[in-house]
Structure 1
Amino acid sequence: MDYKDYYQILGIDENASKDEIKKAYRKLAMQYHPDRNPGDAQAEERFKEINEAYQVLSDDDKRSHYDRLGSAYSNWQQTGGRGGFDWDRWNYGQPGQGGQPGGMRVEFDGDLGSLFGGAGGFSDFFSQIFGGMGGSSGLEELLRGQGRTQATQPRQYTSEMVIGLLEAYQGSTRQVRIGERTFDVKIPKGAKTGTKLRLSGAGPTGRDGKPADVYLKIKVSPHPGFDRQGDNLHTEIYLDIISAVLGGKVTVPTLTGSVTLSIPPGTQPGQTFRLKGKGMPKLRTPDHYGDLYVTVQVEIPKNLSDRQRELYEQLAKLT
């Protein structure tokens, strides 16, 4: 994978703040959005690059690695971040010992595509842990070595599953293979960071002869175009000064496609409009939706032709 200068792609300085990164992204994303450039393959490719750059630079950890590794970042990405399984990220805790009560925590960061059904992905990850140890003996041996195993203590295994905002909006069903068994995992519409999905009896068998449960703890990754606040979504659009003054119609992207928003004359910078029912589905009542709040930013022209300047000067004399 070739090195990509994400700062250059977004047109920002390497010391840019998070707000500057977000502002640059949103402006470019609106400009190159496929809905605004139907059939334009170059615009679509540019849009993908812009999203890729934002996904890295908006995440503190990814940005830190990118800044430190430079051209080696792509290779680091392809190897899964640390070049293999990181035992330091395992945490087995007992009540009163400062860990996860009665369970083992497995941290696994990545997108949904890498978690499920792919080589080196989620199914292989669990197969290596659960399927290749001769039952649970190898795992128990590891825990005994830490001096933290108690036969009577209930066990649970938790993995953090990172999904995108669109996946959380639509919901889906995924197949997960753990050892020799396959489980259907339903990601509910409206899933939030912290939502837990339980796979009953999917873990290794303990000394009591009962298999442990596996919990998939959802983390919804930030979306470059929308800020999620509960069941509501927030986004920004950029208007030229003429549209802000005279009003008009603009295209607003949503998670289900674009909609048209009527802008009244005299719209002010920072003014917010509500699109009812265009937010996230509610987790417990998925037929009900939150709202989408659209904040307007007005672009002031920087480079004027002589004729444009003349017209603005004439306008100034009338006000």
Structure 2
Amino acid sequence: MEYKDYYKTLGVDKKASAEDIKKAYRKLAVKYHPDKNPDNKEAEARFKEIAEAYEVLKDPEKRKKYDQLGANWRHYQHAGGDGSGFDWAQYASGPQGQRHTYYEGDMNDFFGGGDFSDFFQTIFGSGFGRKNAGRTSRQPQGQDLHADIRISLEDTFGGGAKILNINGEKIRIKLKPGVQDGQTLRVKGKGISAGGPRGDLYLQIHIDPHPRYQRKEDDLYADLPLDIYTAVLGGKITINTLHGPVSLSIPAGTANGKVLRIKGKGMPAKTGHRYGDLYVTVNVLIPASLSDQETALFKQLKAMHHSKQTSHAN
């Protein structure tokens, strides 16, 4: 019987962490998913191999016992065997020859026994253990599906319903206001079917860069173009925010680069009915061209300023 190298199947090291194994599985499952490879028997077989490998390596107990089995099998092979005469029964029989399996759960909760290789069923059992004896067989549970979606900052701010097209199927999801970049959203029953109930769909959210705002947790940051006259004299201006138009008071003598805080005009907070703040950095705009009259006035202001400085010096 052929020994299955589950680590090689997923392309991970034997010391790989549970998270690394999960990431490798997700990547390969998306690549070889039957919906993306219609009528491709090779891809379908590869997909089943990937699912079987993940079924073993994702579970700490099954992985530990699989690793022990691998060490003994290699010892036999080094002694000159090819694996066909390996005593597999010692991994499937109790002290008095009683049949048992390494997996104590109900394998029908996953794919159904028929989807696993002879190697898997020899080691982990095709009847799924004594505790399942006499149990009515349930429909095989489908596989979870993982996908990435991109949304705008406005989608993140307001939340609400969004229609996605996943593998040719239109799926309606509901976004909570303030969802974070990298957050994973679970959509129950929208995964892969294995002849029975479908698995779940896990969507990792990626927020597109915004042309104006930068987000840091619940706060927003933006530049504020400001004409030189308002910067010097002060006054009230109206700026657009994700909350709508907001009136902002500009102190007289506001310097270029000054940061002004607008409380409660940031992103929805993770908890509670509150919002972060909006911070705007003043960018004083210098006139690109001046009329003769404007130039004369600026020269007059310059002369008055120099005169004032000389007077104070004396």
Identity %: 33
**Which is greater in Rg?**
2
Q: What SS does the corresponding residue of 1:318 show, helix, strand or coil?
A: helix
Q: What SS does the corresponding residue of 1:160 show, helix, strand or coil?
A: strand
Q: Does 1:257 align with 2:179?
A: no
Q: Is this contact kept in 1: 2:145–2:192, CA < 8 A?
A: no
Q: Measured at CA, do residues 277 and 96 of structure 1 come closer, stay the same or move farther in structure 2, by a change above 3 Å?
A: same
Q: Is this contact kept in 2: 1:92–1:103, CA < 8 A?
A: yes
Which sections of structure 2, spanning at least 5 residues, go unmatched?
1-8, 59-142, 306-314
Q: What SS does the corresponding residue of 2:290 show, helix, strand or coil?
A: coil
Q: Does 1:104 align with 2:8?
A: no
Q: Is this contact kept in 2: 1:107–1:160, CA < 8 A?
A: no
Q: Is this contact kept in 2: 1:92–1:148, CA < 8 A?
A: no
**Cα offset for 1:107?**
11
Per-residue Cα deviation, 1:96-129 (whole angstroms, up to 9, x for no partner): 5555357313899xxxxxxxxxxxxxxxxx9944
Which residue of 282, 288, 291 corresponds with 1:296?
282
- C-alpha distance in structure 1 between counterparts of 2:25 and 2:187, whole Å: 14
Match of 2:45 in 1: 141
Q: Does 1:268 align with 2:172?
A: no
Q: What SS does the corresponding residue of 1:158 show, helix, strand or coil?
A: strand
Per-residue Cα deviation, 1:267-314 (whole angstroms, up to 9, x for no partner): 1111111111100001233x2100111111111123222211111111
Q: What SS does the corresponding residue of 2:26 show, helix, strand or coil?
A: strand
One-letter amino acid of the counterpart of residue 277, structure 1: G
TM-score computed with the length of structure 1 as normaliser: 0.55
**Cα offset for 1:156?**
3.9
Match of 1:161 in 2: 149
Asked which structure has the greater RCO (Cα within 8 Å, sep 6+), the reply is 1
Q: What SS does the corresponding residue of 1:222 show, helix, strand or coil?
A: coil
Q: Does 1:190 align with 2:178?
A: yes
TM-score computed with the length of structure 2 as normaliser: 0.56
One-letter amino acid of the counterpart of residue 166, structure 1: E
**Cα offset for 1:254?**
0.5
Match of 1:3 in 2: none
- C-alpha distance in structure 1 between counterparts of 2:171 and 2:51, whole Å: 32
Q: Measured at CA, do residues 237 and 181 of structure 1 come closer, stay the same or move farther in structure 2, by a change above 3 Å?
A: closer
Q: Superposition RMSD on alpha carbons, in Å?
A: 3.6
**Cα offset for 1:167?**
0.2
1:21-40 alignment to 2 at 5 Å? Answer: none
**Cα offset for 1:221?**
0.9
Q: Does 1:172 align with 2:76?
A: no
Q: Measured at CA, do residues 224 and 275 of structure 1 come closer, stay the same or move farther in structure 2, by a change above 3 Å?
A: same
